[in-house]
Each structure stands twice: as C-alpha cells, then as structure tokens.
Copies of this chain bind each other. A is one copy, B any other.
C-alpha cells in the first residue's frame, strides 16, 4: 500500500508517519519510484505500537527507539525478546544507593521475589539490576522513608494479584501469531496500565462503599 493508504489504515497522519520514518521509529517502505514507497501489514502493526508507546505511554522518542530495536533481535527467544523490549520502557527514577533506606528496600525486594519463586535473574538484560526490579526498590524506599507500610508481608498480596494479571497478560499475548507476540506484549503492557489503575480506584470506591456504607 502507498503512504496515503497506510495513513488511512492506521489513523496516523501522513506528516506524523514521515516524522516516525525520519526518527527511525518506522522502517522504510520498499522504494518503487524516486518519490514513492510501498508499505505492508508490518508497517500498520508497527505504527500502532509506536502510537501506543508515544501517544499513550508518553514514552520519549529515544526510549521508544530502544524498545523497537529490542523487537528486532531475532536471535533471541521469546522470553528474552519480551524482557528486552518491556525492560527498555521507562521505569522512573533509579534507587538512590546513597540513601541507607535503599539497602533495606533491596533486602525486602529480594526476600519478596525469593518467597514468590520469581527468578528475574534468569532474564536479561543486566540482571539482577532489571529495570522493574529497580523500580520496585525505588517505590519501597519511598514508602519506607515516608513511614508507610512496606514489609515483605505488606507487599505479598499485591505480588500475588500481579501474578494472576501476568497470566491474563500472556494469555492475551498468545492469541497473536508468534511473530506478533513480542510487539503485542509491549503494547498491551503499556495500554493496560491506565486500565489497571482506573479499575483499582473504582474497586476502592466500591469496597469503601461496602465497608463504610453506614458512615
């Protein structure tokens, strides 16, 4: 298909598609004349992912480029490609190891993963400093510094709920053809975050109503 059709199919303006092409977020189409190129289904899919990352996830162009690069590493198995791509997403501020609370937060995080039997150390890149692990350590440090509950026992029920969510996530990913799965996993990780956070706030309202109705 030509650029105009790619734009119609994806709902992305031709100007934005040209910008993504210049920034290397979308691979070039097959040149057919000096001024025209031919695009295919993979361009449509890739454009959806780029929009998910940039417009919804508000992920900087440089991070998006890293996520997309990870998708291309054909030599790796699915787990490694999925890990590499999801872990290239922004994960917020790194833990401050000058803060004594950080060492204690690392111990809590390690004990939690140990008790769950999760082995993120098996997963690239740069384990055990996996970005979501570092993100967790930062979050625990902040809770501790502000005096809110954050022991292993406090965190465990949340981890179990997320174990179930991850099963649902990967069931959804496995509906896709194998060559589309890593791309879908990254998009669904980002796009379902506001779903989860809004449902949590609605569920809190429901649960609060249920408990304190008489107030």
Q: How many residues of A contact B (CB 8 A)?
A: 86
Give A80-130 interface residues, CB cut-off 8 Å to B.
80, 82-83, 86-87, 89, 91-92, 113, 116-120, 122-123, 130
Given the interface pairs A83-B205, A202-B120, the reply to whether A191 lies near B130 with Cβ below 8 Å is: no
Kindly state whether residue A189 has any CB partner on chain B within 8 Å: yes
Query: Which chain B residues border A163 with CB–CB below 8 Å?
Result: 203, 206-207
State the Cβ distance, A75 to closest chain B Cβ, in Å: 11
Copy number in this complex?
A: 2
Query: Which chain B residues border A193 with CB–CB below 8 Å?
Result: 197
State the Cβ distance, A116 to closest chain B Cβ, in Å: 8
Interface string of A138-166 (1 = CB under 8 A from B): 11101101111100001101110111111
Q: Give the interface segment out of A18-26, A31-39, A62-70, A168-176.
A: A168-176
Given the interface pairs A154-B172, A161-B164, A168-B161, the reply to whether A195 lies near B140 with Cβ below 8 Å is: yes
Query: Which chain B residues border A174 with CB–CB below 8 Å?
Result: 211
